[in-house]
Chains A and B, each alone.
Chain A
Protein backbone atom coordinates (compact mmCIF):
# COMPACT_ATOMS: atom_id res chain seq x y z
CA UNK A 1 0.00 0.00 0.00
CA UNK A 2 1.49 3.36 -0.98
CA UNK A 3 1.24 6.33 1.35
CA UNK A 4 -1.41 8.86 0.15
CA UNK A 5 -0.34 12.42 -0.67
CA UNK A 6 -0.83 14.53 2.47
CA UNK A 7 -3.52 16.65 0.82
CA UNK A 8 -5.43 13.91 -0.99
CA UNK A 9 -9.06 14.93 -0.64
CA UNK A 10 -10.28 11.57 0.68
CA UNK A 11 -8.33 12.27 3.87
CA UNK A 12 -9.79 14.10 6.88
CA UNK A 13 -8.88 17.76 7.28
CA UNK A 14 -8.80 17.49 11.10
CA UNK A 15 -5.81 15.96 12.87
CA UNK A 16 -6.56 12.84 14.98
CA UNK A 17 -5.74 14.80 18.10
CA UNK A 18 -8.74 17.10 17.44
CA UNK A 19 -11.05 14.22 16.51
CA UNK A 20 -10.21 12.58 19.84
CA UNK A 21 -10.91 15.89 21.63
CA UNK A 22 -14.22 16.03 19.79
CA UNK A 23 -15.21 12.61 21.08
CA UNK A 24 -14.24 13.58 24.65
CA UNK A 25 -16.30 16.79 24.52
CA UNK A 26 -19.29 14.91 23.14
CA UNK A 27 -19.08 12.54 26.11
CA UNK A 28 -18.94 15.57 28.44
CA UNK A 29 -22.07 17.04 26.85
CA UNK A 30 -23.96 13.79 27.46
CA UNK A 31 -22.62 13.52 31.01
CA UNK A 32 -23.64 17.14 31.74
CA UNK A 33 -27.23 16.52 30.70
CA UNK A 34 -27.43 13.05 32.26
CA UNK A 35 -26.30 14.56 35.58
CA UNK A 36 -29.23 16.98 35.42
CA UNK A 37 -31.84 14.42 34.47
CA UNK A 38 -32.24 15.74 30.93
CA UNK A 39 -33.40 13.01 28.54
CA UNK A 40 -31.60 12.42 25.26
CA UNK A 41 -34.02 12.28 22.31
CA UNK A 42 -33.89 11.94 18.53
CA UNK A 43 -36.25 13.57 16.03
CA UNK A 44 -36.32 13.36 12.23
CA UNK A 45 -33.53 15.12 10.34
CA UNK A 46 -35.61 14.97 7.16
CA UNK A 47 -39.02 16.51 7.78
CA UNK A 48 -42.15 17.71 5.98
CA UNK A 49 -41.88 20.94 8.04
CA UNK A 50 -39.19 23.58 8.14
CA UNK A 51 -38.37 26.72 10.11
CA UNK A 52 -39.42 29.87 8.25
CA UNK A 53 -36.50 32.26 8.72
CA UNK A 54 -35.58 35.21 6.50
CA UNK A 55 -31.88 34.34 6.44
CA UNK A 56 -31.87 30.53 6.58
CA UNK A 57 -31.99 28.50 3.40
CA UNK A 58 -32.88 24.86 4.04
CA UNK A 59 -31.86 22.08 1.67
CA UNK A 60 -34.87 20.33 0.24
CA UNK A 61 -35.24 16.73 -0.84
CA UNK A 62 -37.85 15.73 -3.39
CA UNK A 63 -39.31 12.25 -2.95
CA UNK A 64 -40.32 10.60 -6.19
CA UNK A 65 -43.89 9.35 -6.14
CA UNK A 66 -44.42 5.67 -6.99
CA UNK A 67 -46.59 5.27 -10.10
CA UNK A 68 -50.25 5.85 -9.49
CA UNK A 69 -49.63 7.90 -6.34
CA UNK A 70 -49.85 11.69 -6.10
CA UNK A 71 -46.58 13.48 -5.75
CA UNK A 72 -43.70 14.20 -5.82
CA UNK A 73 -43.43 15.45 -2.23
CA UNK A 74 -40.87 17.90 -0.90
CA UNK A 75 -39.12 17.28 2.43
CA UNK A 76 -36.61 19.49 4.22
CA UNK A 77 -33.30 18.79 5.93
CA UNK A 78 -33.60 20.45 9.33
CA UNK A 79 -31.87 23.78 9.96
CA UNK A 80 -32.25 22.91 13.66
CA UNK A 81 -34.26 20.24 15.51
CA UNK A 82 -36.55 22.78 17.18
CA UNK A 83 -39.85 21.76 15.60
CA UNK A 84 -39.53 18.10 16.59
CA UNK A 85 -38.31 18.89 20.09
CA UNK A 86 -41.10 21.40 20.76
CA UNK A 87 -43.63 18.78 19.70
CA UNK A 88 -42.11 16.53 22.37
CA UNK A 89 -42.58 19.33 24.94
CA UNK A 90 -46.25 19.53 24.01
CA UNK A 91 -46.41 15.74 24.43
CA UNK A 92 -45.21 16.07 28.03
CA UNK A 93 -41.40 16.15 27.95
CA UNK A 94 -39.96 18.17 30.83
CA UNK A 95 -36.28 18.35 29.97
CA UNK A 96 -34.80 17.00 26.74
CA UNK A 97 -31.61 17.35 24.72
CA UNK A 98 -30.40 16.15 21.37
CA UNK A 99 -27.10 15.92 19.51
CA UNK A 100 -27.84 16.04 15.80
CA UNK A 101 -26.79 17.35 12.42
CA UNK A 102 -28.32 20.52 11.00
CA UNK A 103 -28.06 21.77 7.41
CA UNK A 104 -28.02 25.27 5.99
CA UNK A 105 -27.43 26.04 2.34
CA UNK A 106 -24.70 28.48 1.26
CA UNK A 107 -23.18 28.84 4.73
CA UNK A 108 -19.52 28.09 4.19
CA UNK A 109 -16.42 29.71 5.65
CA UNK A 110 -13.95 29.34 8.50
CA UNK A 111 -16.86 29.37 11.00
CA UNK A 112 -19.53 27.75 8.83
CA UNK A 113 -20.08 24.40 7.17
CA UNK A 114 -23.38 23.65 5.40
CA UNK A 115 -23.72 20.49 7.52
CA UNK A 116 -22.86 20.89 11.18
CA UNK A 117 -23.37 19.35 14.60
CA UNK A 118 -25.86 20.99 16.91
CA UNK A 119 -26.58 20.33 20.56
CA UNK A 120 -30.07 21.53 21.40
CA UNK A 121 -32.00 21.35 24.65
CA UNK A 122 -35.29 22.47 26.23
CA UNK A 123 -36.57 22.70 29.76
CA UNK A 124 -40.24 23.28 30.43
CA UNK A 125 -40.89 25.91 33.09
CA UNK A 126 -37.58 27.72 32.62
CA UNK A 127 -37.56 31.47 32.03
CA UNK A 128 -34.76 33.30 30.25
CA UNK A 129 -32.64 33.67 33.43
CA UNK A 130 -32.71 29.90 34.15
CA UNK A 131 -31.99 29.17 30.48
CA UNK A 132 -28.98 31.51 30.52
CA UNK A 133 -27.67 29.91 33.72
CA UNK A 134 -27.86 26.38 32.28
CA UNK A 135 -26.09 27.54 29.09
CA UNK A 136 -23.37 29.25 31.15
CA UNK A 137 -22.84 26.07 33.17
CA UNK A 138 -22.49 23.91 30.05
CA UNK A 139 -20.06 26.41 28.53
CA UNK A 140 -17.91 26.32 31.68
CA UNK A 141 -18.05 22.52 31.69
CA UNK A 142 -16.85 22.30 28.07
CA UNK A 143 -14.42 25.23 27.78
CA UNK A 144 -13.44 25.84 31.41
CA UNK A 145 -13.29 29.60 30.93
CA UNK A 146 -15.30 30.46 34.02
CA UNK A 147 -18.82 31.75 34.56
CA UNK A 148 -20.31 33.70 31.67
CA UNK A 149 -20.98 37.42 31.99
CA UNK A 150 -24.57 38.48 31.22
CA UNK A 151 -24.72 41.58 29.05
CA UNK A 152 -27.87 43.04 27.53
CA UNK A 153 -27.91 43.78 23.79
CA UNK A 154 -28.56 47.45 24.65
CA UNK A 155 -25.58 47.62 27.02
CA UNK A 156 -23.32 45.83 24.51
CA UNK A 157 -24.15 48.47 21.89
CA UNK A 158 -23.76 51.44 24.20
CA UNK A 159 -20.37 50.03 25.29
CA UNK A 160 -18.94 49.21 21.86
CA UNK A 161 -20.89 51.36 19.37
CA UNK A 162 -21.97 54.24 21.58
CA UNK A 163 -25.69 54.26 20.87
CA UNK A 164 -28.98 52.78 22.02
CA UNK A 165 -29.95 50.02 19.55
CA UNK A 166 -33.59 50.01 20.68
CA UNK A 167 -34.33 53.69 20.06
CA UNK A 168 -31.87 54.62 17.27
CA UNK A 169 -33.49 55.12 13.87
CA UNK A 170 -32.24 53.28 10.79
CA UNK A 171 -30.60 56.46 9.45
CA UNK A 172 -28.80 57.05 12.78
CA UNK A 173 -27.49 53.48 12.63
CA UNK A 174 -26.41 53.92 9.00
CA UNK A 175 -24.65 57.20 9.82
CA UNK A 176 -22.80 55.61 12.77
CA UNK A 177 -21.80 52.78 10.48
CA UNK A 178 -20.29 55.23 7.98
CA UNK A 179 -18.55 57.17 10.77
CA UNK A 180 -16.88 53.97 11.94
CA UNK A 181 -15.69 53.27 8.39
CA UNK A 182 -17.40 49.88 8.10
CA UNK A 183 -17.71 48.80 4.44
CA UNK A 184 -21.44 48.29 3.90
CA UNK A 185 -23.14 46.42 1.05
CA UNK A 186 -24.04 48.98 -1.61
CA UNK A 187 -27.60 47.65 -1.74
CA UNK A 188 -28.28 47.68 2.01
CA UNK A 189 -31.45 49.76 2.19
CA UNK A 190 -31.26 52.97 4.22
CA UNK A 191 -34.37 51.91 6.18
CA UNK A 192 -33.25 48.31 6.88
CA UNK A 193 -32.87 48.77 10.65
CA UNK A 194 -31.98 45.16 11.37
CA UNK A 195 -29.49 45.12 8.50
CA UNK A 196 -27.58 48.07 10.01
CA UNK A 197 -27.79 46.58 13.52
CA UNK A 198 -26.37 43.27 12.23
CA UNK A 199 -23.51 45.05 10.49
CA UNK A 200 -22.59 47.04 13.62
CA UNK A 201 -22.93 43.91 15.75
CA UNK A 202 -20.69 41.77 13.59
CA UNK A 203 -18.07 44.49 12.99
CA UNK A 204 -17.87 46.38 16.26
CA UNK A 205 -19.59 44.44 19.04
CA UNK A 206 -19.03 40.74 18.39
CA UNK A 207 -15.20 40.88 18.05
CA UNK A 208 -15.05 42.34 21.60
CA UNK A 209 -17.32 39.74 23.18
CA UNK A 210 -15.99 36.91 25.34
CA UNK A 211 -12.32 37.84 25.01
CA UNK A 212 -11.82 37.69 28.75
CA UNK A 213 -14.55 35.26 29.80
CA UNK A 214 -17.63 34.05 27.90
CA UNK A 215 -20.48 36.52 27.47
CA UNK A 216 -24.21 35.88 27.12
CA UNK A 217 -25.96 38.72 25.32
CA UNK A 218 -29.71 38.90 26.06
CA UNK A 219 -32.80 41.01 25.32
CA UNK A 220 -32.48 41.37 21.55
CA UNK A 221 -34.50 43.89 19.50
CA UNK A 222 -38.11 42.74 19.19
CA UNK A 223 -37.71 42.77 15.40
CA UNK A 224 -35.13 39.96 15.74
CA UNK A 225 -37.28 37.68 17.90
CA UNK A 226 -37.31 34.72 15.48
CA UNK A 227 -39.10 32.11 17.63
CA UNK A 228 -38.55 33.85 20.97
CA UNK A 229 -41.21 35.46 23.14
CA UNK A 230 -41.39 39.26 23.06
CA UNK A 231 -41.54 41.03 26.43
CA UNK A 232 -43.56 44.24 26.22
CA UNK A 233 -41.56 47.40 26.90
CA UNK A 234 -40.71 50.05 26.49
CA UNK A 235 -38.53 49.05 24.86
CA UNK A 236 -40.16 45.79 23.82
CA UNK A 237 -37.41 43.16 23.59
CA UNK A 238 -37.13 39.60 22.37
CA UNK A 239 -36.32 37.16 25.17
CA UNK A 240 -33.49 35.77 23.12
CA UNK A 241 -29.87 35.23 24.19
CA UNK A 242 -26.60 34.33 22.55
CA UNK A 243 -23.35 32.97 23.94
CA UNK A 244 -20.01 34.33 22.70
CA UNK A 245 -16.45 33.26 23.46
CA UNK A 246 -13.34 34.75 21.84
CA UNK A 247 -15.60 36.89 19.64
CA UNK A 248 -17.32 33.81 18.21
CA UNK A 249 -21.02 33.11 18.52
CA UNK A 250 -21.55 29.66 20.04
CA UNK A 251 -25.22 29.38 20.98
CA UNK A 252 -28.62 30.95 20.53
CA UNK A 253 -31.46 30.56 23.02
CA UNK A 254 -35.08 31.58 23.32
CA UNK A 255 -37.60 31.90 26.02
CA UNK A 256 -39.96 30.20 23.63
CA UNK A 257 -42.81 31.72 21.73
CA UNK A 258 -45.78 29.49 22.56
CA UNK A 259 -48.66 31.41 20.95
CA UNK A 260 -49.61 29.81 17.59
CA UNK A 261 -51.34 32.98 16.35
CA UNK A 262 -48.12 34.97 16.76
CA UNK A 263 -46.10 32.22 15.03
CA UNK A 264 -48.55 32.32 12.06
CA UNK A 265 -48.21 36.08 11.84
CA UNK A 266 -44.38 35.98 12.02
CA UNK A 267 -44.12 33.21 9.41
CA UNK A 268 -46.31 35.18 7.00
CA UNK A 269 -44.27 38.34 7.53
CA UNK A 270 -41.00 36.42 7.16
CA UNK A 271 -42.16 34.83 3.91
CA UNK A 272 -43.04 38.28 2.53
CA UNK A 273 -39.50 39.46 3.37
CA UNK A 274 -38.03 36.32 1.79
CA UNK A 275 -39.94 37.05 -1.38
CA UNK A 276 -38.68 40.65 -1.44
CA UNK A 277 -35.15 39.23 -1.04
CA UNK A 278 -35.79 37.02 -4.09
CA UNK A 279 -35.96 33.79 -2.04
CA UNK A 280 -38.47 30.97 -2.17
CA UNK A 281 -41.42 30.97 0.22
CA UNK A 282 -41.34 28.25 2.85
CA UNK A 283 -44.42 26.33 4.07
CA UNK A 284 -46.18 28.14 6.92
CA UNK A 285 -48.37 25.26 8.03
CA UNK A 286 -46.63 22.68 10.20
CA UNK A 287 -47.20 20.03 12.83
CA UNK A 288 -45.54 22.45 15.27
CA UNK A 289 -48.47 24.84 14.78
CA UNK A 290 -50.90 22.01 15.43
CA UNK A 291 -48.95 21.15 18.59
CA UNK A 292 -48.95 24.79 19.75
CA UNK A 293 -52.70 24.94 19.22
CA UNK A 294 -52.93 22.00 21.64
CA UNK A 295 -50.92 24.01 24.18
CA UNK A 296 -47.17 24.31 24.50
CA UNK A 297 -45.78 24.73 28.03
CA UNK A 298 -43.69 27.85 28.77
CA UNK A 299 -40.10 26.78 28.22
CA UNK A 300 -36.61 27.89 27.30
CA UNK A 301 -34.48 26.23 24.63
CA UNK A 302 -30.95 26.64 23.35
CA UNK A 303 -29.03 25.51 20.26
CA UNK A 304 -25.26 25.21 20.54
CA UNK A 305 -22.87 24.93 17.59
CA UNK A 306 -20.81 21.96 18.75
CA UNK A 307 -18.13 22.21 16.04
CA UNK A 308 -17.29 25.76 17.11
CA UNK A 309 -16.96 24.66 20.74
CA UNK A 310 -14.52 21.94 19.68
CA UNK A 311 -12.67 24.51 17.56
CA UNK A 312 -12.18 26.86 20.52
CA UNK A 313 -11.24 24.00 22.86
CA UNK A 314 -8.63 22.88 20.32
CA UNK A 315 -7.27 26.41 19.92
CA UNK A 316 -8.10 26.18 16.20
CA UNK A 317 -9.31 29.03 13.99
CA UNK A 318 -11.10 27.14 11.25
CA UNK A 319 -13.77 24.44 11.47
CA UNK A 320 -11.77 22.39 8.98
CA UNK A 321 -9.38 21.64 11.83
CA UNK A 322 -12.12 19.88 13.81
CA UNK A 323 -14.30 18.31 11.09
CA UNK A 324 -13.28 14.97 9.64
CA UNK A 325 -14.75 15.82 6.26
CA UNK A 326 -15.93 19.40 5.60
CA UNK A 327 -18.44 20.04 2.82
CA UNK A 328 -15.91 20.12 -0.02
CA UNK A 329 -14.78 16.61 1.03
CA UNK A 330 -18.21 15.33 2.03
Chain B
Protein backbone atom coordinates (compact mmCIF):
# COMPACT_ATOMS: atom_id res chain seq x y z
CA UNK B 1 0.00 0.00 0.00
CA UNK B 2 1.39 3.45 -0.84
CA UNK B 3 2.17 5.63 2.16
CA UNK B 4 3.03 9.22 2.92
CA UNK B 5 6.10 10.29 4.88
CA UNK B 6 5.91 13.36 7.17
CA UNK B 7 7.72 15.37 4.50
CA UNK B 8 4.72 14.73 2.17
CA UNK B 9 2.19 15.78 4.83
CA UNK B 10 -0.06 18.62 3.69
CA UNK B 11 -3.64 19.76 3.82
CA UNK B 12 -5.92 17.67 1.58
CA UNK B 13 -4.08 14.36 1.93
CA UNK B 14 -6.32 11.30 2.25
CA UNK B 15 -4.92 8.77 4.69
CA UNK B 16 -5.93 5.64 6.53
CA UNK B 17 -5.76 5.32 10.32
CA UNK B 18 -6.80 2.06 12.00
CA UNK B 19 -8.67 1.08 8.86
CA UNK B 20 -10.67 4.30 8.54
CA UNK B 21 -10.29 6.98 5.86
CA UNK B 22 -9.32 10.49 6.99
CA UNK B 23 -8.75 13.81 5.28
CA UNK B 24 -5.84 15.88 6.58
CA UNK B 25 -7.41 19.28 7.21
CA UNK B 26 -4.47 20.90 8.99
CA UNK B 27 -0.79 20.14 9.36
CA UNK B 28 1.55 22.35 11.38
CA UNK B 29 5.29 21.87 11.47
CA UNK B 30 6.81 22.71 14.84
CA UNK B 31 10.38 22.30 15.97
CA UNK B 32 11.45 23.47 19.40
CA UNK B 33 14.98 24.85 19.50
CA UNK B 34 17.38 22.04 18.93
CA UNK B 35 14.65 19.46 19.46
CA UNK B 36 12.64 16.91 17.58
CA UNK B 37 10.57 18.13 14.63
CA UNK B 38 6.87 17.45 15.11
CA UNK B 39 3.92 17.55 12.75
CA UNK B 40 0.72 18.53 14.53
CA UNK B 41 -2.16 17.38 12.38
CA UNK B 42 -5.93 17.59 12.40
CA UNK B 43 -7.65 14.78 10.52
CA UNK B 44 -11.33 14.54 9.63
CA UNK B 45 -13.00 11.17 9.39
CA UNK B 46 -14.32 10.98 5.84
CA UNK B 47 -17.57 9.28 6.91
CA UNK B 48 -18.34 10.43 10.43
CA UNK B 49 -16.89 13.94 10.14
CA UNK B 50 -15.25 13.64 13.57
CA UNK B 51 -11.88 15.38 13.95
CA UNK B 52 -8.77 13.71 15.35
CA UNK B 53 -5.73 15.56 16.77
CA UNK B 54 -2.55 13.63 16.09
CA UNK B 55 1.11 14.52 16.47
CA UNK B 56 3.79 12.78 14.41
CA UNK B 57 7.58 12.77 14.60
CA UNK B 58 9.50 13.55 11.45
CA UNK B 59 10.13 10.33 9.58
CA UNK B 60 6.77 8.80 10.58
CA UNK B 61 4.41 7.71 7.83
CA UNK B 62 0.71 7.14 7.23
CA UNK B 63 -0.90 4.74 4.76
CA UNK B 64 -2.62 6.41 1.86
CA UNK B 65 -6.35 5.84 1.78
CA UNK B 66 -7.55 4.17 -1.41
CA UNK B 67 -10.15 6.82 -2.09
CA UNK B 68 -11.56 7.31 -5.57
CA UNK B 69 -14.12 9.71 -7.02
CA UNK B 70 -16.41 8.30 -9.69
CA UNK B 71 -19.49 9.45 -11.60
CA UNK B 72 -22.45 7.46 -10.35
CA UNK B 73 -25.85 7.56 -12.03
CA UNK B 74 -28.79 7.26 -9.64
CA UNK B 75 -30.98 4.36 -10.80
CA UNK B 76 -33.70 3.88 -8.18
CA UNK B 77 -34.57 3.82 -4.53
CA UNK B 78 -35.89 0.72 -2.79
CA UNK B 79 -36.99 1.62 0.75
CA UNK B 80 -33.75 2.73 2.39
CA UNK B 81 -31.46 1.40 -0.31
CA UNK B 82 -30.27 3.79 -3.02
CA UNK B 83 -28.92 2.13 -6.13
CA UNK B 84 -26.30 3.83 -8.30
CA UNK B 85 -24.37 2.74 -11.37
CA UNK B 86 -20.78 3.62 -12.27
CA UNK B 87 -21.13 5.28 -15.66
CA UNK B 88 -17.86 3.85 -16.92
CA UNK B 89 -17.88 0.25 -15.64
CA UNK B 90 -21.69 -0.19 -15.35
CA UNK B 91 -21.05 -1.67 -11.91
CA UNK B 92 -23.93 -1.12 -9.50
CA UNK B 93 -23.57 0.14 -5.93
CA UNK B 94 -26.11 0.15 -3.12
CA UNK B 95 -25.93 2.93 -0.57
CA UNK B 96 -27.76 3.14 2.74
CA UNK B 97 -29.78 6.19 3.73
CA UNK B 98 -27.03 7.13 6.21
CA UNK B 99 -24.42 7.06 3.45
CA UNK B 100 -26.58 9.11 1.11
CA UNK B 101 -27.26 11.59 3.93
CA UNK B 102 -28.93 14.84 2.78
CA UNK B 103 -28.50 13.92 -0.88
CA UNK B 104 -31.71 11.82 -0.87
CA UNK B 105 -33.69 15.06 -1.10
CA UNK B 106 -32.40 15.73 -4.59
CA UNK B 107 -32.00 12.30 -6.20
CA UNK B 108 -33.97 11.84 -9.41
CA UNK B 109 -33.69 8.78 -11.60
CA UNK B 110 -30.88 9.19 -14.11
CA UNK B 111 -29.13 11.99 -12.17
CA UNK B 112 -25.34 11.82 -12.35
CA UNK B 113 -23.72 12.31 -8.93
CA UNK B 114 -20.16 12.37 -7.67
CA UNK B 115 -19.54 9.24 -5.61
CA UNK B 116 -16.62 8.51 -3.29
CA UNK B 117 -15.32 4.95 -3.04
CA UNK B 118 -13.06 3.75 -0.20
CA UNK B 119 -11.34 0.42 -0.84
CA UNK B 120 -13.80 -0.01 -3.70
CA UNK B 121 -16.90 0.55 -1.54
CA UNK B 122 -19.12 3.63 -1.80
CA UNK B 123 -18.98 5.85 1.27
CA UNK B 124 -20.63 9.08 0.16
CA UNK B 125 -22.44 10.73 -2.70
CA UNK B 126 -22.80 14.36 -3.78
CA UNK B 127 -25.56 15.50 -6.14
CA UNK B 128 -24.91 18.28 -8.70
CA UNK B 129 -24.86 21.77 -7.13
CA UNK B 130 -28.15 22.69 -8.80
CA UNK B 131 -31.08 20.38 -9.45
CA UNK B 132 -34.53 20.99 -10.94
CA UNK B 133 -37.43 19.40 -9.06
CA UNK B 134 -41.20 19.36 -9.62
CA UNK B 135 -43.50 20.51 -6.82
CA UNK B 136 -46.00 17.77 -6.02
CA UNK B 137 -47.87 19.50 -3.29
CA UNK B 138 -48.07 22.94 -1.72
CA UNK B 139 -50.62 25.46 -0.50
CA UNK B 140 -51.99 27.51 -3.40
CA UNK B 141 -49.85 30.44 -4.48
CA UNK B 142 -50.77 33.92 -3.32
CA UNK B 143 -51.56 35.65 -6.59
CA UNK B 144 -49.72 38.93 -7.13
CA UNK B 145 -47.46 38.37 -4.12
CA UNK B 146 -44.00 38.34 -5.68
CA UNK B 147 -42.12 38.84 -2.39
CA UNK B 148 -39.46 36.18 -1.96
CA UNK B 149 -39.21 36.62 1.79
CA UNK B 150 -42.60 35.03 2.51
CA UNK B 151 -42.02 31.29 2.28
CA UNK B 152 -43.93 28.04 2.55
CA UNK B 153 -42.84 24.38 2.56
CA UNK B 154 -43.35 22.61 -0.81
CA UNK B 155 -43.23 18.83 -1.15
CA UNK B 156 -41.19 17.94 -4.23
CA UNK B 157 -41.12 14.77 -6.31
CA UNK B 158 -38.35 13.15 -4.22
CA UNK B 159 -40.51 13.43 -1.09
CA UNK B 160 -38.47 16.25 0.44
CA UNK B 161 -39.88 19.57 1.64
CA UNK B 162 -38.20 22.68 0.23
CA UNK B 163 -38.95 26.19 1.50
CA UNK B 164 -40.16 28.25 -1.48
CA UNK B 165 -41.57 31.77 -1.94
CA UNK B 166 -45.35 31.82 -1.50
CA UNK B 167 -46.00 32.55 -5.22
CA UNK B 168 -44.97 29.08 -6.53
CA UNK B 169 -47.65 26.53 -7.42
CA UNK B 170 -48.20 22.80 -7.54
CA UNK B 171 -46.85 21.18 -10.70
CA UNK B 172 -44.24 23.89 -11.28
CA UNK B 173 -40.52 23.22 -11.61
CA UNK B 174 -38.04 24.86 -9.23
CA UNK B 175 -34.26 25.04 -9.15
CA UNK B 176 -32.65 24.17 -5.79
CA UNK B 177 -29.08 24.64 -4.51
CA UNK B 178 -28.17 21.24 -3.05
CA UNK B 179 -25.31 22.68 -0.93
CA UNK B 180 -27.66 24.87 1.09
CA UNK B 181 -31.01 23.21 0.38
CA UNK B 182 -32.36 26.60 -0.71
CA UNK B 183 -34.80 27.50 -3.47
CA UNK B 184 -33.14 29.51 -6.26
CA UNK B 185 -35.77 30.19 -8.92
CA UNK B 186 -38.74 28.94 -10.88
CA UNK B 187 -37.91 27.08 -14.08
CA UNK B 188 -40.02 27.11 -17.25
CA UNK B 189 -40.94 23.72 -18.74
A and B held together in a complex: yes
Contact of A53 with B by CB under 8 A? yes
The chain A residue with its CB closest to the CB of B27 is: A109
B37 touches A183 (CB 8 A): no
Q: Mark A173-203, 1 if CB is under 8 A from B, else 0.
A: 0000000001111011000001101110110
Which residues of B have CB within 8 Å of A111?
29-30
- The reply to whether B37 and A194 contact each other, CB–CB distance below 8 Å, is no
Task: Please state if B34 and A53 are interface contacts (CB–CB under 8 Å).
Answer: yes
0/1 per residue, A52-88, Cβ < 8 Å to B? 0101100000000000000000000000000000000
Q: Is the CB of B38 within 8 A of A202?
A: yes
Which range holds the interface residue count of chain A? 20 to 34
Interface on A for B, CB 8 Å cutoff?
53, 55-56, 106-112, 182-185, 187-188, 194-195, 197-199, 201-202, 206, 224, 226, 242, 249, 252, 277-279
Minimum Cβ distance to chain B for residue A119 (Å) = 17
A183–B39 alpha-carbon span in the complex (Å): 11
Among B52-60, B89-97, B180-188, the stretch in contact with A:
B52-60
Contact status B38-A199, CB under 8 Å = yes
Point out the residues of chain B lying under 8 angstroms from A224, CB to CB. 33-35
- Whether A55 lies near B29 (C-beta < 8 A) is no
Report Cα–Cα, A252/B28, bound state, in Å. 22
| Chain A residues near B58 (CB-CB < 8 A) | 55, 106
Cβ of B40 within 8 Å of any chain A Cβ, yes or no, is yes
Q: Does B49 contact A (CB under 8 A)?
A: no
Residue of B nearest to A242 (CB): B33
Residues from chain A with a CB closer than 8 A to the CB of B7 are 106
Chain B residues in 8 Å Cβ range of A184: 55
Q: Does B50 contact A (CB under 8 A)?
A: no
Which of chain B's residues 1-39 have a Cβ closer than 8 Å to chain A?
6-7, 28-38
Give chain B's interface residue range (CB within 8 Å of chain A): 20 to 34
Given A106-B58, A182-B55, 20 more contacts at CB 8 Å? A55-B31, A55-B35, A55-B37, A106-B37, A107-B29, A109-B28, A109-B29, A109-B30, A110-B29, A111-B29, A112-B29, A112-B31, A183-B40, A185-B38, A187-B57, A198-B32, A199-B55, A201-B32, A206-B32, A224-B34
Residue pair A188, B37 in contact (C-beta under 8 Å): no
Chain A to chain B contacts (Cβ below 8 Å), 8 pairs: A55-B35, A55-B37, A55-B58, A183-B40, A198-B38, A202-B35, A249-B33, A279-B59
For the complex, give the distance between the alpha carbons of A198 and B31 in Å. 9
Q: Are A183's CB and B54's CB within 8 A?
A: yes
Most A C-beta atoms less than 10 A away, residue of B36, B40, B59 = B36
- Complex: A252 Cα to B7 Cα, angstroms: 25
Known: A106-B7, A112-B29. Contact between A187 and B60, CB under 8 A?
yes
> B54: which A residues are within 8 A, CB to CB?
183
Residue among B33, B40, B55, B59 with the highest chain A CB neighbour number at 10 A = B33
Q: How far apart are the CA atoms of A308 and B83 in the complex, in Å?
A: 55
A107 cross-chain contacts in B, Cβ below 8 A: 29, 31, 37
Do A185 and B55 have beta carbons less than 8 Å apart? yes
Contact (Cβ within 8 A) B60 A185: yes
- A107→B34 CA distance, assembly (Å): 12
Q: Which residue of B lies closest to A198 (CB)?
A: B35
Tell me the bound Cα distance from A110 to B40 in angstroms. 13
Q: Which residues from B are CB-within-8-Å of A53? A: 34
Residues of B within 8 A of A197 (CB): 35
